[in-house]
A and B are shown apart, each in its own frame.
Chain A
Amino acid sequence: MTSVAPPPPKTGLTASVRGIAWYTVLIGISIVFVAPLVWMLLTSLKTTGEATRVPPAWLPEDPSTRAYDTIFAGNTQTPVLRWFLNSMVAAVGQALLVLVIASMAAYALARMQFRGRNVIFALIIGTLFVPGFVMLIPNFLMVDRLGWLDTLWALIVPGAASAFGVFFLRQFFSTLPRELEEAALIEGANAWQIFTKVILPLSKPALATLTVIAFLTNWNDFIWPVYVLFSPENLTLPPGLATLQGAYTTDYPVIMAGAALASIPVLILFVICQRYIIEGVSRSGLKG
């Protein structure tokens, strides 16, 4: 016996109206979200004069691929494909490293009892509050000591030490029901087996999310590479694309074109990882 309102009808006029209202709101907000990006893409096809025209125009009158041509001019000073590859190796490398070491540490901190657990966790979280740039010069000196200057190692390893990944995964692991681990324990599994066969599969949404975030953070980093990379062919995309800019002038089409190109791999990665982020739905049934 219920005294609450019945669930909304799944058919009929009310449902259609709700459906339309629903989509209208979603699409409306989406337009606001996407409009600047569309403008960005269209601007990459304009000439510099058009890009700064007043009143501002959406469409290029005279679409030109000048900006893209500039980027792909392909001379030895601006090896864009090489930069792209460097960025890819660095971002994938760091994302993988983060996934492996942060998940292990996060599991220990979330689920295991051991001496010093709280102190270690507090220490790790504590460093999150220290502004990153304080560590810039000390890390630079350390990377020099290790002989990693001007190599991709300098881009992969130091950043993987951020407390973000550990904090993130520890929170997620702590939401997992303990019964599954206990069942596995009863069956005689050791910690590593529980970790790999029980925890990780259950955490696909969190792991997929962290993959995207770690990849993206590394991909768009434009400060650290300035300090540790020197040779033009070792640069990553952000500092590399910056060299296509005029020294005192802003070349909007080239900037937008570079940004458009740089965003493609990330969007692809996101769409792929989406599958894992929503996978949990099939496990726990539809919500809504």
Chain B
Amino acid sequence: MSNHLSRRGLLGLGVGAGGAVLLSACGNDGPNPVVNGGGSNAEPAATSYTGPNVALTFWNGFTGGDGPVMKSLVEKFNAANPNIKVTMNVYEWADYYQKVPGAVSTGNGPDLGIMHVEQVATNAARGVVLPLDDLAASLQLKEEDFSPPVWRAGVYNNKRYAIPLDVHPLGMFYNKKVMESAGLDPEKPPTNNDEYMAALEKLKAKKIQGHWASPFPFTGVLQFHALNWQFGGQTFDEGATKAQFAEDAGVKALTWLVDLVKKGYSPKNVAQDADAIALQNGKAAFNWNGIWNINTLKAVKGLEWGVSALPQIGTQKAAWAGSHNFVQFKQKTTDQNKLTAGKVFINYISQQSIEWAKGGQVPARKEVRDSPEFAALKEQAAIGSQIDNLHFPPSVPGIADAMATIDTAVNEAILGRKEPAKALSDAATKADQILEQNRKKYGG
């Protein structure tokens, strides 16, 4: 009996990986016509929910300017789906991650949520989020629909727990006026190490410190990661059993940042946010910052700025990125209707993610990224051009604890307290210990 019921729920979305399903929203919940065909030429899988009215709660950390953008998407969804009502709650990200596990475990949790991709494995291991393989399958979502690194990052223990909404990579923001004042072409920002160092020299000649090296996670550690990958390195090995950021590539990456200070291209003792503020005030020319900086700079009156992909300092192109992902939360009692309706919601927002991109994001969905509307968003598109060169942390529970050791290493090195190689190797020793501790705790 229960088997039949659950299959009926699945029928609402379509069963099996082979077929795209077209449903009519006519309110009967009998079996629906199945349309065959698949692949990228088929009509996009439009789905709707045909069960009884449900109310869903959707929590995320989109405070400030991002909130209203997502809110309006939610409202559009509610209008298009009269039998689903989604309410969105917003909390500061730090509060959100503290709050959600407790809420879920006491039955106060939401149905749907957003998580950063590196948090998914930990929450999956702690039983906070549910597997989404059936969602991916029924919606025919595949690696090619997104981008391989971000798609793969949502899998833990061979199960998929996350569907990517966006990626938010680093970009190189530059102050056009400052560049001009040093004789640099503001429409041709540097794209490789030689050009970059030449530009910094020219700036230094005009007494401008071109690239402020931040010793803090935002943005120093993010820059370190990008450079490490650019020099061909990795953060961890495939199964996250060993730290690899202290090897040659990592040392080169960190040394490059430390040299910015040594060579005078950056002041010493750059505090939190100072590098971004410096760019806004014409005290720096370049700032490698996240895509979220777009909205910040747009709000600064009179600032002439641009953004491009990160220059290739190392042997290959690479950039750091985070990624917001959809998740579904464990409930005290399983309500199949709610789960189904939730999947419809996820698919809808994912397909509408051009609106989300306008708010300052790079959509994870390839078809949205390749659309002319996205190309028209110049800044986002510039940063989004790095999509094939993004790396994400291994999907291992507790990975963030091990990565915190890198924060300390970058801090010690850029503040001139330890040599880069030593700082990194000390951190790697600690990281290995933590990785092992986590293996014992979470198993496997």
A182 CB within 8 Å of chain B: no
Determine if B99 and A247 form an interchain contact, defined as CB atoms under 8 angstroms apart: no
> Known contacts being A49-B301, A77-B71, A247-B93, is A242 close to B63, with CB within 8 Å?
yes
Q: How many residues of B contact A (CB 8 A)?
A: 37
Determine if A47 and B277 form an interchain contact, defined as CB atoms under 8 angstroms apart: no
Stretch of A20-28, A124-132, A248-256, A263-271 contacting B (4+ beta carbons < 8 Å): A248-256
Point out the residues of chain A lying under 8 angstroms from B61, CB to CB: 247
Question: Quick one: which of B68-118 are within 8 Å of A by CB?
Answer: 71, 88-93, 95, 98-99, 102-103, 106, 108
Determine if A77 and B95 form an interchain contact, defined as CB atoms under 8 angstroms apart: no
Determine if B292 and A249 form an interchain contact, defined as CB atoms under 8 angstroms apart: yes
Determine if A52 and B106 form an interchain contact, defined as CB atoms under 8 angstroms apart: no
B280 CB within 8 Å of chain A: yes
Determine if B64 and A150 form an interchain contact, defined as CB atoms under 8 angstroms apart: no
Give the CA-CA distance A257 to B156 in the complex, in Å. Answer: 43
Q: Which residue in B64, B66, B98, B290 is a CB contact (below 8 Å) of A251?
A: B64
Determine if B63 and A246 form an interchain contact, defined as CB atoms under 8 angstroms apart: yes
Stretch of A205-213, A223-231, A275-283 contacting B (4+ beta carbons < 8 Å): A223-231
B376 CB within 8 Å of chain A: no
A69 CB within 8 Å of chain B: no
A48 CB within 8 Å of chain B: yes
Determine if B273 and A250 form an interchain contact, defined as CB atoms under 8 angstroms apart: yes
A245 CB within 8 Å of chain B: yes
> Known contacts being A239-B92, A245-B92, A247-B66, is A230 close to B300, with CB within 8 Å?
no
Most central of B88, B106, B277, B295 by chain A CB within 10 Å: B106
Give the CA-CA distance A144 to B106 in the complex, in Å. Answer: 7
Give the CA-CA distance A5 to B61 in the complex, in Å. Answer: 69
B157 CB within 8 Å of chain A: no
> Known contacts being A54-B278, A77-B90, A226-B95, is A247 close to B301, with CB within 8 Å?
no
Give the CA-CA distance A48 to B297 in the complex, in Å. Answer: 10
Give the CA-CA distance A140 to B99 in the complex, in Å. Answer: 11
Point out the residues of chain A lying under 8 angstroms from B90, CB to CB: 77, 232, 243
Give the CA-CA distance A226 to B295 in the complex, in Å. Answer: 28
> Known contacts being A48-B296, A249-B64, is A239 close to B91, with CB within 8 Å?
yes
Point out the residues of chain A lying under 8 angstroms from B62, CB to CB: 247
Point out the residues of chain B lying under 8 angstroms from A140, CB to CB: 102
Point out the residues of chain B lying under 8 angstroms from A243, CB to CB: 63, 67, 90-92
Point out the residues of chain B lying under 8 angstroms from A150, CB to CB: 108
Point out the residues of chain B lying under 8 angstroms from A47, CB to CB: 299, 301
A244 CB within 8 Å of chain B: yes
Determine if A227 and B98 form an interchain contact, defined as CB atoms under 8 angstroms apart: yes
- Residue interface bits B272-311, CB-to-A below 8 A is 1, else 0: 0100011011010000001011011001110100000000
- Residue interface bits A35-57, CB-to-B below 8 A is 1, else 0: 00000000000011100111000
Most central of A48, A140, A249 by chain B CB within 10 Å: A249
17 pairs, CB–CB < 8 Å, chain A vs chain B: A47-B301, A49-B300, A54-B281, A226-B99, A227-B98, A230-B99, A230-B103, A232-B90, A244-B64, A246-B66, A246-B292, A246-B295, A247-B64, A247-B92, A248-B292, A249-B296, A250-B273
